[in-house]
Amino acid sequence: MIVPLTPLMFLRRTAKLYPDKLAVVCGEHRFSYSQFNKRVHQLSWSLKNLEVHSGMVVAYLSRNCHRLLEGYYGVIQIGAILLPVNVRLTPTDLVFILNDSSATVLFLEQEFVPEIEKIRKKLKTVKHFIVLNDISRRTWLQSLNYEQQLNKSITDPFPDQIKDENSVAELFYTSGTTAKPKGVMLTHRNLYLHAQSVVWAHQNQDSDVQLHTIPLFHANAWGVTHSITLVGGTHVMVSKFRPTKIFQLIEKEKITSFNLVPTMASMLLTSAGISKDFPTLRLIHLGGSTVPTEMVEQLESAFGCSCSCGYGLTETSPVLTISIIKSHLKEDSSAHYKRAAMTGIELPGNEVRVVDENGIDVIQNGKMIGEIITRSNLVMKGYWNLPEETAEAIKEGWFYTGDLATVDPEGYLMIVDRKKDIIIRGGENISSLEVEKTLVTHPAILECAVIAVPSKKWGETPKAFVVIRPNQKVSKQELKFYCRRKLATYKIPSSFEIVRSLPKGVTGKIQKKILRLFHQGNP
């Protein structure tokens, strides 16, 4: 028997078996799974009333909130496609994404109404603007807000619509540090298999109470919407990440697990609240960028729980690897922290390799660098309306991540750099990440970015852009000396540029393409 795989199966089961269990905590709101499920059905019926059909795109401009979580089920249940948009996008990107995706409906929080007001005339496809958490005060908004739409809809189960597990369920736009944003199509099957993999790796059970610290429109967060529902756990929504609030919620809601990006981890570790006890915490999972070993050690010690790291991309649902510690490795605590901070090993059912330019697997010595490629049911269906870009990313059954990594003798991956950020100087690979990590240990440096610049002699050499801390001073010469003590000679930047700030995208990623353009004008 073939039943289309869909994450909707998880909510159906949990609503049936755990009807009275707490499903969502969101500010003052608390919904049981039975209540949450009814709201999900109401949302589906509301969308049907608005003539939203299978294959249409429903966008959200929302911070973490139970209403956005409802969208993860209510939208895809009618066969429509959920598009959670990053709330920090520029107006230009927002217009591009909503038009490119042909979004029909835009749900938005009240605080984003003025922003959308400015651009709404440029939006070619959005028919319905619906405010999530306020009454409608503008003529261009649907007169009924979200709660009113739900209230006038029935709570009956919406009939099963998903006939093809390979139909698109969710659409996410990549942050586009290198080109215009691309829509990543994730199917019902992608999301089902992803959740099944992750609950095993994280050992999630119905006792889990997950704090949704990371915005659900981020790769590091959206998968958790389905995995916690799968096990019958509780979702606790965090609208804005503030350490004091996080510590309060952990205590009040008896949180067992949450995800962090390293920046968030730093904020928590340097906050006063860290000295508390957290007896209910079981797991912190880190993703988003490479994690220093000390950070894992500090987190495990401060929170008294386990800490794992993972790796993935928007295009891979996202999680491909997790730093699961093999049980037979009897390593001492320093080796343990080092391993937990690694990129990890592939999850069962997925194939991840690190290959050289000829497609040969690199030697597992923790040194040889190759590109991460994967053959996996977690890989997207493709880029939205971009068949050529899709064909370029998925070649002969393998998805090319563009990320460079090493593999150690135990098979653990360690990310080295983005492929396009690697610097090839006279045939030697230099990781820009390694040079940046070295520079940033200098006490006067706040942050920095290293890019490849053309060189007649070497082909390419590294160039460093450096931001100095307030009230600090450092010369380029001194930085060169500093590097000489810490780095192999060929890795030392050929030039240093001291700048006031670095160009960043809305997710906080440094935009190296702008630095490259700057260098072209100012070599």
Among 375, 418, 486, 504, binds a copy of itself (CB under 8 A): 375
| 208 φψ region: left (φ > 0), alpha (ψ -120 to 50), beta (else) | beta
Told to check if 471 binds a copy of itself by CB under 8 A, we report: no
Told to check if 5 binds a copy of itself by CB under 8 A, we report: yes
Among 91, 349, 426, 454, binds a copy of itself (CB under 8 A): 349
Phi, psi of 15 (to 5 degrees): -65, -30
Told to check if 166 binds a copy of itself by CB under 8 A, we report: yes
Among 9, 237, 354, 362, binds a copy of itself (CB under 8 A): 9
In the region spanning residues 186 to 205, those forming contacts with a copy of itself, defined by CB under 8 A, are 189, 192, 196-197, 199-200, 203, 205
Told to check if 16 binds a copy of itself by CB under 8 A, we report: yes
Residue 75 or 231: the one with the smaller Cβ distance to a copy of itself is 231
Told to check if 23 binds a copy of itself by CB under 8 A, we report: no
CB of 478 to a copy of itself, least distance (A): 45
Q: What is the DSSP letter of 103?
A: E
Among 175, 220, 376, 507, binds a copy of itself (CB under 8 A): 376
Q: What is the dihedral of CA 399, 400, 406, 412, to 10 degrees?
A: -20
For residue 45, the number of C-alpha atoms closer than 13 Å in the C-beta half-sphere is 19
Q: CA-CA distance, 354 to 332, in Å (whole number)? A: 27
In the region spanning residues 288 to 327, those forming contacts with a copy of itself, defined by CB under 8 A, are 326-327
Residue 62 or 197: the one with the smaller Cβ distance to a copy of itself is 197
Told to check if 21 binds a copy of itself by CB under 8 A, we report: yes
Told to check if 12 binds a copy of itself by CB under 8 A, we report: yes
CB of 523 to a copy of itself, least distance (A): 41
Q: What is the CA radius of gyration of the chain?
A: 24
Per-residue interface string for the shown chain with a copy of itself, residues 104-143, x marking contact by CB under 8 A: ----------------------------------------
Residue 178 or 203: the one with the smaller Cβ distance to a copy of itself is 203
For residue 282, the number of C-alpha atoms closer than 13 Å in the C-beta half-sphere is 13
Q: CA-CA distance, 396 to 390, in Å (whole number)? A: 12
The one-letter amino acid at 505: G
Told to check if 228 binds a copy of itself by CB under 8 A, we report: no
CB of 161 to a copy of itself, least distance (A): 14
Told to check if 328 binds a copy of itself by CB under 8 A, we report: yes
Told to check if 3 binds a copy of itself by CB under 8 A, we report: yes
Q: CA-CA distance, 57 to 101, in Å (whole number)? A: 7
Cβ atoms of residues 104 and 126 within 8 Å: yes
Residues contacting a copy of itself: total by CB under 8 A:
46
Cβ atoms of residues 311 and 344 within 8 Å: yes
CB of 361 to a copy of itself, least distance (A): 10
Residue 206 or 251: the one with the smaller Cβ distance to a copy of itself is 206
CB contact set of 503 (below 8 Å; sequence gap of 6+) = 510, 511, 514, 515
CB contact set of 251 (below 8 Å; sequence gap of 6+) = 276, 278
Question: Using CB atoms within 10 A of its CB, is residue 51 exposed (0-12), middle (13-18) or buried (19+)?
Answer: exposed
> Encoding tokens for residue 317?
């649902």
Q: CA-CA distance, 302 to 242, in Å (whole number)? A: 17
Among 85, 283, 379, 492, binds a copy of itself (CB under 8 A): 379
Cβ atoms of residues 405 and 411 within 8 Å: no
Told to check if 152 binds a copy of itself by CB under 8 A, we report: no
In 3D, which of 206, 208, 236 has the Cα closest to residue 221?
236
Binding site for a copy of itself (CB under 8 A): 1-3, 5, 9-10, 12-13, 16-18, 21, 166, 189, 192, 196-197, 199-200, 203, 205-207, 230-232, 326-328, 345-346, 348-351, 375-377, 379-381, 394, 397, 399, 410-411
